[in-house]
């Protein structure tokens, strides 16, 4: 197994009296495009900011590329939320900043990207559209040649077309440069398009994390005659349950085959899966079972 690019142990961050992130345990292997999904305010930005060393943890620790967060600036790229740029500086001057401040700066990558996006190097960043600005910020992140690129809601402010283009560009760059990516979003569709690894963060807690293929292969929807949750087999972890007078519907996670012939079994889409975990966080203690992570 490849080394973890991101490893959090008992990680927590408190702002004043409010915990923005609680007891976060994560291990993200290298070579993935990770989607970090959760509703607004779930702690996604906090987790990413902790990972680049912009914030210091209140509890626990976070390691990036095998070193404490913030110690390997040259190897970690970060595109912050709202893709900040210097509004008075031109596109070309932003590339100059990148070239001056990064030893591993790849000028050809930057030039090529600016050309293919169609940005005028003389244009001030303040006059770019949201999509162009995001592309400029991504260019800075990529031309730095990082081993890990973190993007905090890079497409949140973009229209659907710009969104698709941005993610496509990102995917091409990932294929070329062999880097790992963590991308946060509150939309499952972004993640579905771009990612192969999923982290669901709700209410400052990690609800589930794992490779998307594995997650989809181990989650099922069971529909059948009404059945009490307590009578479910031990190896079937109930994520969500709903009942009518005669019928029960369960979303479960299991690595075992489902043998009970009373159930009609169907697969989940990624969106179903994410929504189920989000819904569960909204009603905690429903199952009385501990929240378990997917085993990989």
Residues that bind other proteins (CB under 8 A): 45, 49, 52, 54-56, 73-74, 76-78, 80-82, 84-89, 93, 96-98, 100-104, 137, 140, 144
Closest approach of other proteins to the CB of residue 103, in Å: 6
Residue 16 exposed, middle or buried by CB count within 10 Å (0-12, 13-18, 19+): exposed
Closest approach of other proteins to the CB of residue 155, in Å: 17
Q: Which position has the token pair 């890990």?
A: 148
Q: CB-wise, 76 or 206, nearer to other proteins?
A: 76
Q: CB-wise, 137 or 198, nearer to other proteins?
A: 137
Closest approach of other proteins to the CB of residue 166, in Å: 17
Q: CB-wise, 55 or 195, nearer to other proteins?
A: 55
Closest approach of other proteins to the CB of residue 271, in Å: 30
Q: CB-wise, 33 or 52, nearer to other proteins?
A: 52
Closest approach of other proteins to the CB of residue 258, in Å: 46
Q: Which of 159, 161, 160, 119 is nearest to 137 (CA)?
A: 119
Q: CB-wise, 82 or 196, nearer to other proteins?
A: 82
Closest approach of other proteins to the CB of residue 275, in Å: 29
Q: Which of 124, 34, 37 is nearest to 87 (CA)?
A: 124
Q: CB-wise, 89 or 171, nearer to other proteins?
A: 89
Closest approach of other proteins to the CB of residue 178, in Å: 19
- Per the CB < 8 A criterion, the answer to whether 241 and 197 are in contact is no
Q: CB-wise, 140 or 273, nearer to other proteins?
A: 140
Q: Which of 224, 151, 226, 158 is nearest to 184 (CA)?
A: 151
């Amino acid at each position: 197994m490849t080394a973890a690019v991101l490893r959090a142990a008992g990680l927590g961050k408190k702002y004043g009296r409010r915990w923005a992130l609680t007891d976060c345990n994560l291990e993200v292997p290298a070579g993935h495009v990770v989607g970090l999904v959760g509703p607004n305010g779930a702690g996604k930005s906090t987790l990413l900011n902790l990972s680049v060393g912009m914030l210091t943890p209140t509890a626990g620790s976070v390691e990036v590329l095998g070193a404490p967060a913030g110690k390997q600036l040259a190897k970690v790229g970060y595109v912050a939320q709202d893709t900040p740029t210097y509004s008075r500086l031109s596109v070309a001057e932003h590339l100059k900043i990148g070239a001056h401040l990064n030893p591993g700066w790849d000028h050809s990558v930057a030039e090529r990207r600016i050309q293919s996006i169609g940005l005028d190097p003389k244009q001030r960043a303040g006059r770019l559209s949201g999509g162009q600005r995001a592309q400029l910020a991504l260019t800075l992140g990529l031309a730095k040649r990082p081993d890990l690129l973190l993007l905090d809601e890079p497409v949140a402010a973009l229209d659907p077309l710009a969104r698709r283009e941005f993610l496509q560009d990102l995917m091409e760059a990932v294929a070329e440069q062999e880097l790992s990516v963590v991308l946060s979003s509150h939309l499952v569709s972004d993640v579905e398009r771009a990612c192969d690894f999923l982290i669901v963060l709700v209410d400052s807690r990690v609800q589930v994390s794992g490779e998307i293929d594995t997650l989809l292969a181990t989650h099922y929807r069971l529909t059948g005659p009404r059945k009490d949750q307590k009578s479910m087999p031990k190896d079937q972890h109930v994520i969500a349950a709903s009942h009518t007078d005669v019928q029960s519907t369960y979303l479960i996670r299991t690595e075992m085959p489902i043998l009970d012939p009373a159930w009609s079994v169907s697969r989940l889409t990624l969106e179903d899966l994410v929504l189920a975990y989000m819904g569960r966080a909204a009603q905690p203690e429903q199952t009385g079972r501990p929240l378990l992570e997917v085993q990989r």
